[in-house]
Structure 1
Amino acid sequence: MKPEKETTTAQSSIVQPVSRRRFFTLAGIGVLAASTIASCKKDDAPMVTDTSIDLGSGDVGILNYAYALEQLEAAFYTKVVSSFYSGATADEKSRLAEIRDHEIAHREFFKNALGSKAIPGLEVDFSKIDFTSRDSVLGTAKAFEDLGVSAYNGAGQLIVSADYLLLAGKIVSVEARHAAYIRDMISNGSFADATAIDANGLDMSKMPSEVLSIASGFLKSKITANNLPTS
């Protein structure tokens, strides 16, 4: 139990008896202060409320981190499929719709698994994307898929639960399949080039701070990850 703080001189004066004259003097000051505050209130600057969304800590924070990325990807592919870019082939439409379904399934899985600990739905900002352009859509899809793979690879070392680590491994393999397909749509045979695989033959890896810095450019919602594990 923390020791009680020492009573200050100001606090002592409040609990001590006051004279009749002093009582009315203090009361008058209080009324004046209240009226002054009331008259100035309308001119005060509005109170700024922090609306940022914190991911949380530990494994829950990592799951919310993954959930945030899946929300972003699901929203992107839903938009793509709702109105395909000009010149989209039947095969492209089919594959992109399948990727959309995978991302929605991932999103809903994390939402249900987290339950009351899940972050709210995020508001996206796709104003930089031209959804009528194949180059713009596929270029963004490539960036999202590569980012997703590197995000899961980077977060793996931060997960404590073996069950969650297994889950992350299963999802990152699907994200890698998406990335490979999108890359080959853009340039056949580029699915495992040097921009995706390092000199040791391993996929790229990024820590949450770097991933969220990139993802924030496509989100209106502000995310904070100050409580995520770092090692």
Structure 2
Amino acid sequence: MDPQSAAKTGQASSSPLESMMHRRKFLLFTGTAAATAALIGVSCKKDDDDNNNTTPAVNLGTGDVGILNYAYALEQLEAAFYIKVMQAPYGGITAAESEYLADIRDHEIAHRDFFKAALGSNAIQNLEVNFDSIDFTSRASVLGTAKAFEDLGVSAYNGAGRLLQSSDFLTLAGKIVSVEARHAALIRDLLQNGSFADLPSLQPLGAVPANGLDAARTPTQVLEIAKNYLRTPLNASNLPS
């Protein structure tokens, strides 16, 4: 894969939702109207007391709404990370790196805004992030975290696909996870040229298992990792399994 094209592909917008996106974002959301309509009349409880935490945990909900809120939570996290990266870029960032990371930021914002619009009144609240462990002045810290987030996102969508009942939502998830995988490949190439699809034996940058299938994580596994970057606790106990 050519890293200079990995985060650059785009098409013209044709729907009201797509018109809100940056002109270089992907045309990701064919079928949005059907997906949104399927959510009408479905509700989820936003907050649920967590006996182990003084802060009420945000309940992601049940069924497809719960899975979409789960994805929305992850997209909020990724969007917040790249926004912060681009607000004060790390020292020595090149023009190409700045352009690539700005494109990824725009894609993650588009993903976040799509889920918020599709969920409507069923969407969870804006989450408070915790990036205290990240050194945003360090290229290694920023790109290493970006790699971890992109890999986590790919494994999250792969693991959640089987939990979706709606074929429309499954199609949309497939369109988004492919973009996340493009991001993961680009970040790897920025860390080490040519490493975008290395085997896991070539750690720490190994990406693709010997069987050629990307990893899949359950929501529980994903949120156990993601909670290290979130101040807002999440309750995923009602998600399908």
Specify the alignment match of 1:99 in structure 2.
104
Instruction: Name structure 2 gaps, 5 residues minimum.
Output: 1-52, 201-205
AA partner of residue 101 (structure 2):
L
Q: Is contact 1:55–1:225 with CA below 8 Å preserved after alignment? A: yes
Q: Indicate which of 159, 167, 170 corresponds to 2:164.
A: 159
| Whole-Å separation in 1 of the counterparts to 2:144 and 2:133 | 12
Distance 2:234 2:175 in 1: 25
2:185 aligned partner: 180
Flag structure 1 segments of 5+ consecutive residues without an equivalent: 1-47
Q: Which of the pair has more CA radius of gyration?
A: 1
Deviation for aligned residue 1:155? 0.3
Paired letter, 1:52: A
2:217 counterpart letter in structure 1: K
Q: TM-score, normalised by structure 1?
A: 0.78
Aligned to 1:200: 211
Distance 1:49 1:88, change over 3 A: closer
CA offsets, 1:108-141, max 9 Å, x none?
0000000000000000000000000000000000
Instruction: Looking at secondary structure, tell me which structure has more helix per residue.
Output: 1
Runs of 4+ off more than 4 Å: none
> For residue 226 of structure 2, what is the aligned residue in structure 1?
215
Give the letter aligned to residue 220 of structure 1.
Answer: R
Superposed displacement of residue 200, structure 1: 1.2
How many residues in Structure 1 have an aligned counterpart in Structure 2? 183
Q: Percent identity?
A: 68
User: Which amino acid is 1:82 matched to?
Assistant: Q
TM-score, length basis structure 2 = 0.75
- Look up the match of 1:190: 195
Displacement of 1:142 in angstroms is: 0.2
Q: Cα offset for 1:196?
A: 2.2
Counterpart residue number, 1:80: 85
User: Which residue identity is paired with 2:212?
Assistant: G
CA 222–160 in structure 1, closer or farther in 2 if over 3 Å, else same: same
1:197 deviates by: 1.5
